[in-house]
Structure formats: structure tokens, C-alpha cells
Structure 1
Amino acid sequence: DPERIAEVCKAAKETLGFDFLVDLTGVDHLDGGRRWGVVYELMGTGHGVHLRLKTAVGEEVGEVPSVCGVWRGADWHEREAFDMFGIRFRGHPDLRRILMWEGYPYHPLRKDFPLAGRSSEVPDGAFTRPAPLEGGPFVTPPVGDDAIAREPRVRTPEES
């Protein structure tokens, strides 16, 4: 039952010691009865055992409960599954796209997404913000003959 997955995950963590969510991903069963699957790969750091949990949800429902309340690290995994497959995670604290831009109308890892892709309008200003050139810890000015001349951190103490 996909409605109980958060409850099952909580029990796996608290009772069985599976304290680490290794991965969470979506699966598209286009020709199956329930279209979407969500796979949870868990590990107990105390005993080193892995556990894989799977749940399936029909396309008409298209959502499962979020497990962010069990493992905070599920946040970006669930966002990726939403972005790429369109699977919604009820109760997620910030369910928005993580790889594609907001407003992108498709979910690229669905099996019915064409291999050649689909054209869509890129919003004005997308990808046009300049990257910062000053103030970052690893930004170097484009002067000097080589990296050692430009970047003092690559010099040995003898060269300084």
C-alpha cells in the first residue's frame, strides 16, 4: 500500500536500524497496471545491511507520502523523482523542480517522452544571469602565465 510507505520507512529506521537513505528513485511502468514505482534503498550504518523497499502507485493518483520526515536527505531525491517522472510526494517541504526550469511542461524520464525530446519555450532570462567573478574562494583573475602565478594556494611554501 503506497499510503503506508512513510510509516514503513519510519519503522525500518527506528526499529530495524536502517538509519541512512542511500537512494530514492522513480520507475515508469508504462505498460503495467500501476504506472509509477518508487524505490527506496536503505542502509543500516550500524550493521551494514541494505534494504530495498518498493511501492507502486497508479497514474490516476500519481503521489505517495514524502519520507522527508524520516530522513531529511530524502528532500532532493524526491524533488528529482518529481522533476524527471512527475511523481508527487505529499507533505514534501519544497516540492519544485531541481533539474529542469520551473514551468517546463514535461518529465523527461517518462517512457512516453520521445527520445528526440520536445521543444518548449525557455522563459525569458533563463540561463542568462552572469556568474560571480569576484569574492569566491576559488576565483582567480585571468592574468599571469600559469596557474602558479595566478593562484597562490597551489604554490609550495618554498615558492612563496
Structure 2
Amino acid sequence: MKDQVQSYLQSNFSHFLIENREIHTNLPYFTLKPEGIVPVCLALKEHPEFAFTFLNDLTSIDWLGKHSVRFEVVYLLKSPKNKHFRIQLRVPVEEGEAVPSIVSVYAGANWPEREIFDLMGISFSSHPRLERLIMPDNFVGHPLRKDYPLEGPGQDYLIQDLLTLHVNEDMSSN
């Protein structure tokens, strides 16, 4: 199945493919330019032979100095029709660049994309509601980045804002 997917992608989407670098993984993977993620996901989902209809996982990697690109967004697609055959699609992203959202293809990508945005700072263009999911709105930074300080940047501002909010609420209710 890997060879058929590879052949299909090379013949139909070669302009989106990037040569794979050596990564140790037990799954076939294909590296794509950011602008290729939506059309490739849609094609693999709708192709009757492949039917990658399930987005199994969506995550990101911070390579910080180990590769020429800072981040990589990793999509794990599964084909229930083909005995749950899985592939990875990888999209390299530099600091400040955005990756097109795949929510229009896989609705289940909504929260994982928001989580990546919140914790890694990678933006997804055309996302229906790209905002923090886990951290408070006034949180500074992205705590899963490798250069984020272990002790954090000092979170006193979060406590101060919370106290101010509750003091103001208590005073207005009297």
C-alpha cells in the first residue's frame, strides 16, 4: 500500500512534495509544502482505493537547532477500509509561518490545531476559531517549545489579573 500511495502522490502532487530526510519511524511518511496539506488530505480521503477517512492524530515537533526548519506539523491518517493502514504527512514550518487548517477536510482537526497553536505557537490559516484552548488568554509564550524556560517566565501577572477580576466581581455584586 505504501508504494501505491507514494506513486499516487508523486504523479498527482509532486509540486507539493519535499524530499524526505532521514527520520526513524515505523510508518511511511511524506513531507509536504504547507500549501499542499489541504489538497493532499482531501485527495487521500476521497480516493476510493486509499480512503484515509480518519485523522488518527495531529501533533507538532519543535526541532530547535536539530534540523534546518524549526517546527514540523505531523498528521497521522488512517484508512479503516485498508485494515487501518496508516501514513504520516509532515509539514515543515518556520517561526511565524502558518499552515493551512485541515478542519474543512477533517472536522476532528479543530481542537488539535488549537492545541498546537496554544502550546507551540504554530498558526493555522483559515481555522474557524484559532484561539487558546488550554492556557489562559493572557498567558505569555508557548510552554511546549524547547526554548521555553523550565520555571516559566514568572506567572505573577496571571494571579494578579485573577485577583483583580474576582475583587471587581465581588464589589459589583454588592
Q: What is the TM-score of this pair, normalised by structure 1?
A: 0.74
Q: Does 1:98 align with 2:130?
A: no
Letter matched to residue 142 of structure 2 = H
Q: For 2:62, which of 19, 28, 39 is the aligned residue?
A: 28
**Bigger share in helix:** 2
Rg larger for: 1
Q: CA deviation at 1:30?
A: 0.9
Counterpart CA distance in 2 for 1:33 and 1:112 is 16
> Could you report, residue by residue, the CA deviation over 1:21-69 in whole angstroms, capped at 9, with x for unpaired residues?
01101111111321110000110122211111111011142x1000000
Contact 2:101 2:125 in 1 (8 A): yes
Once superposed, what is the RMSD of the aligned Cα atoms? 1.8
Q: CA deviation at 1:79?
A: 0.4
For this pair of structures, how many residues does the alignment match? Answer: 127
Q: CA deviation at 1:124?
A: 2.5
Q: Which residue of 2 aligns with 1:84?
A: 119
Counterpart CA distance in 2 for 1:98 and 1:22 is 20
Tell me, which stretches of 5 or more residues in structure 2 are unaligned? 1-32, 167-174
Q: Does 1:53 align with 2:85?
A: no
Counterpart CA distance in 2 for 1:82 and 1:126 is 27
Tell me, which stretches of 5 or more residues in structure 1 are unaligned? 129-160
Runs of 4+ in structure 1 over 6 Å off: none
Secondary structure in 1 matching 2:57: strand
Q: Which residue of 2 aligns with 1:3?
A: 35
Q: What is the TM-score of this pair, normalised by structure 2?
A: 0.68
Counterpart CA distance in 1 for 2:43 and 2:55 is 13
Letter matched to residue 58 of structure 1 = E
